[in-house]
């Protein structure tokens, strides 16, 4: 899968588009009160990416096990220091309600943690290259 994210920003205009292969979607994120930039910061979006990945992957992995999930609550936390410093202390917790025993749900959560692609990308480290 080829994925991309794009922001077009100017005074009081902040347009966000994400795309996977040939499917593009727009997201509604307002501009900062100053009119420039995003009202949501990159750290918040990174934590949201982790939560979103885990949520979607729980449904995917549950379906493989014929488990019907009725509710998922995922909370991801992390810390950022001074400008330019990488984030640290990333943690998350998940609560899943499903038509399965607690042992099966716990195994589903543990397995999903091992196969969640965004989690594994960050755990393995990655290069981010500026192309000009």
Query: pTM of the entire structure?
Result: 0.94
Residue 132: inside a domain: no
75 within some domain = yes
Measure the CA–CA gap between 40 and 32, rounded to whole angstroms: 8
Q: Note whether 13 and 57 are same-domain residues.
A: no
Residue with tokens 């379906």: 63
Question: Does 131 reside within a domain?
Answer: no
- What CATH number did the domain enclosing 93 receive? 3.30.300.20
Residue 58 domain-assigned (yes or no) = yes
| Residue-wise pLDDT tens digits, 31-76 | 999 999 999 999 999 999 999 999 999 999 999 999 999 999 999 9
Q: What is the mean pLDDT of the chain?
A: 97
What separation in angstroms does the CA of 29 have from each of 14, 26, 39? Answer: 7, 9, 7
Number of domains in the chain: 2
Domain identity same for 61 and 6:
no
Range of the domain at 122: 41-126
**36 lies in the same domain as 48:** no
């Amino acid at each position: 899968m080829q994925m991309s994210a794009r922001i077009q920003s100017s005074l009081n205009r902040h347009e966000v588009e994400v795309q996977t292969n040939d499917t593009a979607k727009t997201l509604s994120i307002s501009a900062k009160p100053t009119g420039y930039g995003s009202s949501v910061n990159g750290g918040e979006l990174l934590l949201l990416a982790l939560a979103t990945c885990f949520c979607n992957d729980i449904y995917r992995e549950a379906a493989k096990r014929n488990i019907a999930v009725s509710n998922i609550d995922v909370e991801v936390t992390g810390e950022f220091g001074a400008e330019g410093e990488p984030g640290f202390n990333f943690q998350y917790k998940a609560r899943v309600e499903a038509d399965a025993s607690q042992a099966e749900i716990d195994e589903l959560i543990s397995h999903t943690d091992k196969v969640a692609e965004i989690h594994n990308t960050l755990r393995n480290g990655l290069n981010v290259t500026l192309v000009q």
